[in-house]
């Protein structure tokens, strides 16, 4: 048999292939059977087809058609539509009218303003940087004067003196509250003044 195969590189490779390196396997044929649900569905389908072909007896039924009448709004809208259509289709006596096309031209002021605007924009677009003079920008950073520096220095010294003051150098003092109470005559006079008002 091997001598009858055509001589090609593939046929030569197949003939010279070493079969000893292959592992033995068993061939298992798989023929899946339908499930019980598939069988039941097929039987139901076959029964329906048999009944249809055999002329199954059906029960007599009466069909009731429901006719929906239009609402009052629908009737009103239809009447309005019909009246508008009859007005449009009917004969009308119209007056002859001539249409004047008005194309107002701009007045002299508007033309002059437009010319100035166009000259302005063309002047900006065609401006040459060569016409500009060379200028150097001097940055000015004004420093505070000697008076301002001296005032700020005094304020800083005063703050540091307050913050670093040693409280132990202070002497203990007792505060006396002096409150002068009004005498009897003054109270009487105040009462009379409040009653008179």
What are the tens digits of pLDDT across the range 143-194? 888 898 899 999 999 998 888 888 888 888 888 888 778 888 988 998 888 8
Position 5 scores a pLDDT of: 47
Position 80 scores a pLDDT of: 93
pTM for this one? 0.20
- Write the secondary structure of the chain as one string of H (helix), E (strand) and C (coil): CHHHCCCCHHHHHHHCCCHHHCCCCCCCCCCCCCCHHHHHHHHHHHHHHHHHHHCCCCCCCCCCCCCCCCCHHHHHHHHHHHHHHHHHHCCCCCCCCCCCCCCCCCCHHHHHHHHHHHHHHHHHHCCCHHHCCCCCCCCCCCCCCHHHHHHHHHHHHHHHHHHCCCHHHCCCCCCCCCCCCCCHHHHHHHHHHHHHC
> Which of 4-8, 41-45, 114-118, 125-129 has the lowest average pLDDT?
4-8
């Amino acid at each position: 048999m091997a001598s009858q195969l055509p001589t090609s590189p593939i046929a030569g490779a197949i003939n010279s292939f070493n079969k000893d390196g292959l592992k033995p396997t068993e061939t298992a044929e798989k023929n899946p059977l339908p499930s019980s649900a598939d069988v039941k569905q097929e039987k139901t389908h076959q029964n329906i087809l048999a009944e249809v072909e055999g002329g199954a007896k059906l029960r007599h039924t009466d069909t009731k058609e429901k006719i929906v009448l239009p609402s009052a709004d629908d009737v009103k809208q239809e009447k309005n539509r019909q009246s508008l259509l009859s007005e449009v289709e009917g004969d009308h006596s119209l007056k002859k009218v001539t249409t004047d096309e008005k194309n107002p031209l701009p007045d002299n002021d508007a033309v002059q303003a437009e010319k100035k605007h166009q000259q302005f924009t063309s002047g900006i677009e065609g401006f040459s940087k060569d016409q500009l003079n060379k200028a150097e920008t001097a940055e000015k950073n004004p420093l505070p004067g000697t008076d301002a520096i001296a005032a700020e220095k005094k304020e800083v010294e005063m703050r540091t003196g307050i913050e670093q003051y040693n409280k132990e150098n202070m002497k203990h003092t007792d505060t006396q509250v002096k409150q002068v109470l009004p005498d009897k005559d003054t109270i009487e006079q105040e009462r009379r003044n409040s009653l008179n008002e």
